[in-house]
Amino acid sequence: MQAHRALILRGNRFLGSTLVDKKLVSVAQLEEANERFMELLQGGESNACSVLNLLVHELKLLDEQKLMEHYVEQEKIGLIDLDFYRVAAARDLGYDPTLAAATKTIPFDRIEGFTCLATCYYLSTPVVKHWSELLGNKVIWYGISLRSFSNYLGRVNELEETLRAEEEEAAEQAAEEAAALEKKRAASVPKPTADDTPQI
């Protein structure tokens, strides 16, 4: 997560400013969330560093339902709940799960060359720009709740761990088979006898 620290800072700063501009939170509420955000960041708790998560869940200063309504009514993007969506491997969609965690944004499908993105941070310009550029501006955006995002990312990480374990097991098996084949080949080579000794 340290690799995404700059994006985490910029993404959350822009998100907070936009929430105030859209009158979804007050300046005082944002300042309270920012203070807690910096405490977590300085304490090394990068995974928990989300101004939105603090406002919604820890400090309870923002009703997430109002944010979802804003996405639909003002930003004109759809909403999605990925709880019952078949999980797609991060490697298949070409992204790093740590980036998804840092930006609260995750690809979940690809349709006719466009990548479908579910995000909690659509109001953060740096986050939207980063993903758009990463995916060649061929993206379809959806809003998602923090809970649904967290659940889906958890399933992605579990799938990646399973795939990684399978790859390691396959590599070990291949190495064992290669060693056994080499041993068999070496055993099949005839050993020289006394009759094979050159006469002088």
Cβ pair 147, 82 in contact under 8 A:
no
Overall number of domains in the chain: 2
Is 98 found in the same domain as 44? no
Domain residues for the domain of 56 are 1-63
In a domain, 30, yes or no: yes
Is 49 found in the same domain as 86? no
Is 87 found in the same domain as 41? no
Q: Give the CATH number for residue 90.
A: 3.30.300.160
Tell me: the pLDDT tens digits for 22-67? 999 999 999 999 999 999 988 876 655 899 999 999 999 999 999 9
Check whether 71 has a pLDDT greater than 90.
yes
In a domain, 196, yes or no: no
Tell me: the pLDDT tens digits for 147-167? 999 999 999 999 999 988 888
Q: What band does 199 get if pLDDT is binned at 50, 70 and 90?
A: low
Q: Which residues are paired to 110 by β-bridges?
A: 115
Alpha-carbon dihedral sign for residues 90, 94, 98, 101: negative
User: What is the model's pTM?
Assistant: 0.83
Q: Which residues are paired to 3 by β-bridges?
A: none
